[in-house]
Amino acid sequence: MRLLRLLKIASVGIRYGLDQMILEHEPSGRLAWLVRAVFFWRDLSAPRAVRLRLALEALGPIFVKFGQMLSTRRDLLPADIADELAKLQDQVPPFPSALAIAELERVYGKKVSEVFADFDVEPVASASVAQVHFATLPDGREVAVKILRPNIRNVIAHDIALIDTAAGLVEALWADGKRLKPREVVAEFEKHLADELDLMREAASCSQLRRNFLHSPLLAVPEVYWDWCASSVMVMQRMHGTPVSQVDNLRAQGVDIPALARAGVEIFFTQVFRDGFFHADMHPGNIFVTASGQYIALDFGIMGTLTDADKNYLAQNFIAFFQRDYKRVAQAHIEAGWAPADTRVDEFEAAVRAVCEPVFDKPLKDISFGKVLLRLFQTSRRFNIEVQPQLVMLQKTLLNIEGLGRQLDPELDLWKTAKPYLESWMHEQIGWRGFVRNLKYEATTWAAILPQLPRLAHQALSHGQSKNLGDDIARLLVEQRRQTRLLVLACASLGGLLGTALIVLLA
């Protein structure tokens, strides 16, 4: 089976001339010439990026998904290939409804008619990993049922192994192979796919995003119905709305389109800087809009998370960029630990200035956050800076949001819309509010440690019993927390006994 699949991949690669993309970098050039002579019948007039996209589409949904992921790695790929791969669409024919019903009955251990009051056998959406059917619960609630494709785990494992083999060949034969780290990219892709294959994980992400925006007038997120969820089935509230790409329909419904564009930017920056948890697949197919102008988020298989350090890095870069403080941009990279400590700030500053200064010849509304961030990533490569995966995902999402916002309102000024959220977040982090919040957060820890620091220091310095004072403090803190839990448990038990005795006496 694997041999047949490998032969198919080889034949598709030869048909679209993918061998030339690799062999053209072979130092002698003889091997590329030989292959061209053997396969002289091929039409390779189309650009290389187009041929690569067509080859991935011919190989099937997992390869299409891999191409989509590659399109986000603009820090690694040439611009022409990244732009072309971004055109890949995850359009997959649905699998037979009988298989969907069989999976539901396997999960629930009963007939579908006993689980749902009504189940629409025709899927409403189909992708490479799962498809969606509408249904009605016994209490009348309308739901969307997401079901994994049959045997999809085996298919993915099989294709991933082949992609990894191809990545190894690229690494061995292409001059830039080692720098591009193709096998690491494949491993990252495998991890994302593994996350998408666990629908309980997706349901948890959906639930978290819903909680973050529960009372927001800007974004609606479906409720998850946990009693009907499993690793291969996700049941959530059915949402009613119009695809965001149907601008004329939205306008006919009375939706304020410029306000909708601004709301999209606000939602994105709220997710990033308030929550550090964002929807990382915000293409138009995953966004609906209600008649009142509220966004609806769908498909939570790919989510991004950011630490406080990530958020601080981003906020400082955005604000410094628009203040033309290129030295601050360079310092932010070094302080975040992503640039080597011995990086010369003045050299990095000059490189950042070369990226950013041309942008300011344009009106602010014409400046692309995503493209500036991308060029910073590409410049960073010269200084041996590792681009963090979470920021690559963020950059991809930001490009999606920007494209969507300007599709809705070409006059949208992203900086004017985003600046209040960035400044507010910075004040929360480094102002007096941030100081008070951090003080409260750390108070319980320091209350346990501070009284005992003199004794620990005396022991460490006088008796040499510990080579690492920090280890002693950490062990002390763990022991103190354990004793606190035991004390709470003892108090609860004592309270229960006293309550029982009181009831007996009163009886």
Rg for the chain, CA atoms, rounded: 28
H helix or E strand, kind and range, residue 432: helix 432-449
For 92, phi then psi, to 5°, come to -125, 135
Can you tell me the distance from the alpha carbon of 144 to that of 146, in angstroms, rounded to the nearest whole number? 7
Which own/partner pairs from 79-88 qualify as long-range (CB within 8 Å, at least 24 positions apart)?
Answer: 80/47, 80/48, 80/49, 81/48, 81/49, 81/52, 83/49, 84/47, 84/49, 84/50, 84/52, 84/53, 85/49, 85/52, 85/53, 85/56, 87/53, 88/53, 88/56, 88/57, 88/64
Mean pLDDT, each 10-residue run in order, the chain (507 residues): 69 76 58 61 79 84 78 69 76 87 96 96 89 96 95 83 78 64 76 86 96 94 97 96 91 93 88 88 85 93 84 76 81 76 85 78 63 68 67 74 80 76 71 61 65 68 56 58 51 44 40
Can you tell me the distance from the alpha carbon of 79 to that of 74, in angstroms, rounded to the nearest whole number? 7
pLDDT of residue 410: 80
Can you tell me the distance from the alpha carbon of 421 to that of 270, in angstroms, rounded to the nearest whole number? 7
Question: 409: which 2 tokens?
Answer: 């309102």
Which entry of 159, 281, 409, 472 is annotated as an active-site residue? Answer: 281
Q: Domain spans of the chain?
A: 2-92+153-195, 242-430, 450-506
Residues paired with 220 in a beta bridge: 296
HEC string of 337-399 equals: CCCCCCCCHHHHHHHHHHHHHHHHHCCHHHCCHHHHHHHHHHHHHCCCCCCCHHHHHHHHHHH
Question: 17: which 2 tokens?
Answer: 């001339």
Q: Please give the C-alpha separations between residue 106 and each of 29, 133, 226, 230, in angstroms, as whole numbers.
A: 56, 17, 17, 11
For the chain, give the number of residues. 507
Q: Is 198 a catalytic residue?
A: no
Angle at 291 between CA 287 and CA 294, to 5 degrees: 50
Q: Show Cβ contacts of residue 137 under 8 Å, excluding neighbours closer than 6 positions.
A: 116, 117, 143, 225, 228
Q: Buried b vs exposed e over 87-120: b needs ≥16 C-beta within 10 Å?
A: ebebebebbebeebbebbeebeeeebeebbeebe
Q: What is the DSSP letter of 270?
A: I
Q: Show Cβ contacts of residue 379 under 8 Å, excluding neighbours closer than 6 positions.
A: 351, 352, 354, 355
Task: Tell me how far apart the 2 most distant CA atoms of the chain are, in Å.
Answer: 101
pLDDT of residue 493: 47
Helix (H, G, I), strand (E, B), or coil: what is residue 328? helix
Helix (H, G, I), strand (E, B), or coil: what is residue 230? strand
- Judge whether 137 and 116 are in contact, CB under 8 Å: yes
